[in-house]
Amino acid sequence: AQSVTQLDSHVSVSEGTPVLLRCNYSSSYSPSLFWYVQHPNKGLQLLLKYTSAATLVKGINGFEAEFKKSETSFHLTKPSAHMSDAAEYFCVANTGGFKTIFGAGTRLFVKA
Amino acid sequence: DGGITQSPKYLFRKEGQNVTLSCEQNLNHDAMYWYRQDPGQGLRLIYYSQIVNDFQKGDIAEGYSVSREKKESFPLTVTSAQKNPTAFYLCASSIAGSGNQPQHFGDGTRLSIL
């Protein structure tokens, strides 16, 4: 069965330190992978997507993610956290068609 | 600006009442989706539509109904049969035909029981 696992429900970092949000997927086929961010009482905003081109994907707001097929991972990183990065982040997979699989989300806290 | 508009932002339902959540998009997307979000959980698909006058049940369609009479509009009705409707509802749209296209989301409607 296809699945997306976000390994941490909560991550806390200090402002100016690196961010790492972990995501593993399980799929029989090479999926398209996405990271979205959700601020309170808002919809999801696309950060970046992987669709079998370059394995290192750069997104908005300084975020990037690396697709590692051997590890079935698609971790999201940012070199230096900002207070405005505090939000919930969703890793999402799609193996074709209309079936989209959402991870349970990781809430990022940024301390001043 | 192109985007998705959901209304109302907050909605309250009385026992035995049906309520309808509005979703309008001006992105010219063929596909539209409704999701339910509960605290600490990912999004769960209620219904989706690939094209006008066609829609399919998602994972949790019981107690909900939809229509797709126009390309721009995909309203969701929460019926009295949905016994636990309190949640955050998100509408999304995408270019149809391929899973490598991202979905664009509205800002949601929060539904509560009176």
More confident residue, B67 or A96: B67
The token duo for A13 is 């970092």
- For A10-36, write each residue's pLDDT tens digit: 999 999 999 999 999 987 777 889 999
Nearest 5°: CA angle at B64, between B61 and B66?
A: 100
Q: How confident is the model at residue B1, as a pLDDT?
A: 62
Residues of A with CB below 8 A from B110's CB?
41
The token duo for B27 is 């992105």
Question: Which residues have a Cβ under 8 Å from the Cβ of B96 and sit 6 or more positions away?
Answer: B29, B30, B31, B50, B51
**Mean pLDDT, to the nearest integer, of A73-90?**
97
- For B46-85, write each residue's pLDDT tens digit: 999 999 999 999 999 999 999 999 999 999 999 998 889 9
How far off is chain B from A96, nearest CA to CA, in Å? 4
**φ, ψ at B49 (rounded to 5°):** -135, 130
Residues B14-44 as b/e (b if ≥16 CB within 10 A, e otherwise) read eeeeebebbbbbeeebebbbbbbbeeeebbe
More confident residue, B100 or A38: A38
Q: How confident is the model at residue A99, as a pLDDT?
A: 76
State whether residue B72 is helix, strand or coil: coil
For B99, which DSSP code?
A: T
Q: Among A91-95, A96-100, B7-11, B34-38, which is the least confidently predicted range? A: A96-100
**Mean pLDDT, to the nearest integer, of A102-107?**
94
Closest C-alpha to A111, from A13, A10, A20, A29: A13
Which chain A residue shows the shortest CA-CA distance from B43? A102
Question: Are B107 and A42 in contact (CB < 8 Å)?
Answer: yes
**φ, ψ at B71 (rounded to 5°):** -60, -35
Q: How confident is the model at residue B107, as a pLDDT?
A: 96
Closest C-alpha to B109, from B82, B77, B69: B77
For A63, which DSSP code?
A: -
**φ, ψ at A60 (rounded to 5°):** -85, 160
Which chain A residue shows the shortest CA-CA distance from B88? A41
For B73, which DSSP code?
A: B
Test the B interface: residue of A7, A44, A51 with most B CBs within 10 Å: A44
Please tell me the total number of residues recorded for chain B in this structure: 114
Q: How confident is the model at residue B97, as a pLDDT?
A: 62
Q: How confident is the model at residue B113, as a pLDDT?
A: 86
Q: How confident is the model at residue A29, as a pLDDT?
A: 73
pLDDT bin (cut points 50, 70, 90) of residue A1 is: low
State whether residue A85 is helix, strand or coil: helix
Q: Rounded distance, CA A94 to CA B48, Å?
A: 15
Which chain B residue shows the shortest CA-CA distance from A106? B40
Question: Are B100 and A98 in contact (CB < 8 Å)?
Answer: no
The token duo for B54 is 């066609």
- For B7-21, write each residue's pLDDT tens digit: 999 999 888 899 999
Give yes or no for a contact between A42 and B110, defined as CB atoms under 8 angstroms apart: no
Residues of B with CB below 8 A from A9's CB?
40
